[in-house]
């Protein structure tokens, strides 16, 4: 069947989107959403670009749009998975442009006038050049804004985060004059949760991954113990508002039992 012409398709999609949004009124919403912004390079190649940086740029622009959708939907906290610690091993000619786009994206979402409180989380000191300083300075300006909480995961890996949380718990205990053996005897889940990179991220309600891949790839492993997962076939730059609304509908239709 032939696709409808664009001038017809757009109005029809708009009507469908409004109706879909109306069906979500009063239904449960996730409060903390993790989003794996995957497929930028593949989108660029599919779109005919010879330079994959075009995919990174398109993906970076979509971040601001997505956060606007989340704000309108009443979501309180978003974690964006933009670069894993494994990705830091990519060739410099590929990694450099990607980090540049991440820096530009963070500058955009932290700009004056935005009501978002942004943090950069991950192994920032492993980033090349001045990237760690750029990200920290940009996000520091958003402290106390009180709007949507946004964690930008850069150089992030959850196994590394868990190790760092354990180290931090012991360092804090020892610095206060405590006996390490005493902490070992009572060490529990809360000791790790309190020392994660983001102090408000001890659990995640909903994780979305674009590009059709169906794995977590080291994203929020600790926080997602009872998270609902949603896989989207489109690449991140092509992720639409209707795709987001469908994801929220999928979440609302699930029964969350938390192991009970």
- The model's pLDDT over 164-176, given as tens digits with 9 standing for 90+, comes to 999 999 999 999 9
Please identify which of the residues 38, 151, 158, 205 carries the catalytic annotation.
38
Token pair, residue 107, equals 């500058």
Rounded to an integer, the average pLDDT of 197-222 is 89
> Looking at the predicted structure, is the pLDDT value of residue 1 above 50?
no
> Looking at the predicted structure, is the pLDDT value of residue 51 above 60?
yes
Q: Which residue, among 248, 198, 199, has the nearest Cα to 74 in the 3D structure?
A: 248
pLDDT band at 2 (very low <50, low <70, confident <90, very high): low
Per-residue model confidence (pLDDT) at position 202: 59
Rounded to an integer, the average pLDDT of 50-70 is 95
> Looking at the predicted structure, is the pLDDT value of residue 61 above 90?
yes
Contact call for residues 37 and 237 (beta carbons, < 8 A): no
The whole-angstrom separation of Cα 218 and Cα 38 is 14
Token pair, residue 93, equals 């000619």
Per-residue model confidence (pLDDT) at position 137: 96
Per-residue model confidence (pLDDT) at position 6: 63
pTM for the model: 0.92
Please identify which of the residues 87, 108, 164, 191 carries the catalytic annotation.
87
Catalytic site includes residue 190: no
Catalytic site includes residue 115: no
Per-residue model confidence (pLDDT) at position 257: 83
């Amino acid at each position: 069947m032939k696709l409808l012409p664009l001038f017809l398709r757009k109005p029809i999609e708009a009507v469908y989107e409004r109706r879909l949004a109306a069906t979500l009124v009063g239904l449960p919403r996730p409060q903390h959403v993790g989003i794996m912004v995957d497929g930028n390079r593949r989108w660029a190649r599919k779109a005919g670009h010879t330079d994959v940086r075009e995919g990174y740029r398109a993906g970076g622009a979509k971040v601001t749009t997505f956060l606007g959708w989340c704000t309108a939907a009443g979501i309180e906290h978003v974690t964006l998975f933009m670069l894993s610690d494994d990705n830091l091993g990519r060739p410099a000619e590929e990694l450099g442009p990607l980090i540049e786009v991440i820096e530009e994206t963070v500058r955009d979402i932290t700009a004056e006038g935005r009501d978002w409180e942004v943090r950069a989380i991950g192994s920032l000191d492993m980033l090349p050049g001045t990237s760690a300083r750029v990200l920290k300075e940009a996000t520091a300006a958003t402290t106390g804004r009180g709007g949507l909480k946004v964690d930008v995961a850069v150089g992030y890996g959850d196994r590394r985060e868990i190790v760092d949380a354990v180290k931090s718990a012991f360092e804090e205990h020892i610095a206060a004059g405590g006996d390490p053996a005493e902490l070992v005897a009572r060490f529990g889940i809360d000791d790790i949760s309190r020392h994660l990179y983001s102090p408000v991220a001890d659990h995640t309600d909903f994780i979305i991954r674009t590009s059709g891949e169906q794995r977590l790839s080291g994203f929020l492993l600790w926080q997602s113990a009872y998270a609902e997962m949603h896989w989207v076939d489109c690449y991140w730059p092509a992720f639409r508002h209707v795709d987001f609304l469908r994801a929220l509908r999928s979440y609302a239709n699930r029964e969350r039992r938390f192991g009970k």
